[in-house]
A and B are shown apart, each in its own frame.
Chain A
Amino acid sequence: EAAVTQSPRSKVAVTGGKVTLSCHQTNNHDYMYWYRQDTGHGLRLIHYSYVADSTEKGDIPDGYKASRPSQENFSLILELASLSQTAVYFCASSDGDSQNTLYFGAGTRLSVL
């Protein structure tokens, strides 16, 4: 069974603080992704990675950094959290073929106050 685990599941952060969201996959997948979802909107791609030690910008990368230290782990870093980054964040993994399924984690609800 494919598994993507996110931590924490929820977090409250202060404006200007640093936030790190973690993702771990046991699928042996090359590709990993970070999406965010705002209420009433679809998921939007922030960063993705297709190999360890390399990350790529998605559609909305501003204000976010990503880190892929190993095939299994992919972190999303908010160096200076802002109110506008309050959202639900989803991590996902896939084999990389465009027809292949994405496997998602359960999400992290981030509230920036």
Chain B
Amino acid sequence: GDSVTQTEGPVTVSESESLIINCTYSATSIAYPNLFWYVRYPGEGLQLLLKVITAGQKGSSRGFEATYNKETTSFHLQKASVQESDSAVYYCALGDLAGSFNKLTFGAGTRLAVCP
């Protein structure tokens, strides 16, 4: 079946340092997967951070970037300089572009702690 594997947390970085959270996927049943990053801040629900529908394209939001790499089946999340407010759990997910609804396959989530 489809699966998503991401960096195991917790990940701890200092403020203003760079960040990369790795995400690789296997889309055995989806010909053209969408790729997503969701974020869950403390006490809140998951919210969409960014999404990319087309292989080779890059998505960006709030200083975060991720590039959809079909060759390496990866969608790594990067940020050049993190802030304390970025502390959260980050989820990589894939979805079926051709599906009739947004059925997502999630990774386990990566907890990020940013130290001041």
Interface residues of A (CB under 8 A from B): 4, 31, 35, 37, 40-45, 48, 50, 58, 90, 92, 94, 96-107
Interface residues of B (CB under 8 A from A): 4, 34, 38, 40, 43-48, 51, 53, 91, 93, 95-109
Q: Which of A42, A45, A90, A102 contacts B108 (CB 8 A)?
A: A42
Q: Which of A35, A44, A100, A107 contacts B102 (CB 8 A)?
A: A100
B108 and A41 form a contact (CB under 8 A): yes
Q: How far is the CA of A45 from the CA of B100 in the complex (A)?
A: 15
Indicate whether A4 sits within 8 Å of B102 (C-beta atoms), given known contacts A40-B108, A42-B4, A43-B91. no
Closest residue of chain B to A30 (Cβ to Cβ) is B101
Q: How near does chain A come to B79, taking the closest CB pair, in angstroms? A: 21
Give the residues in chain A near B107, CB-CB below 8 Å.
Answer: 42
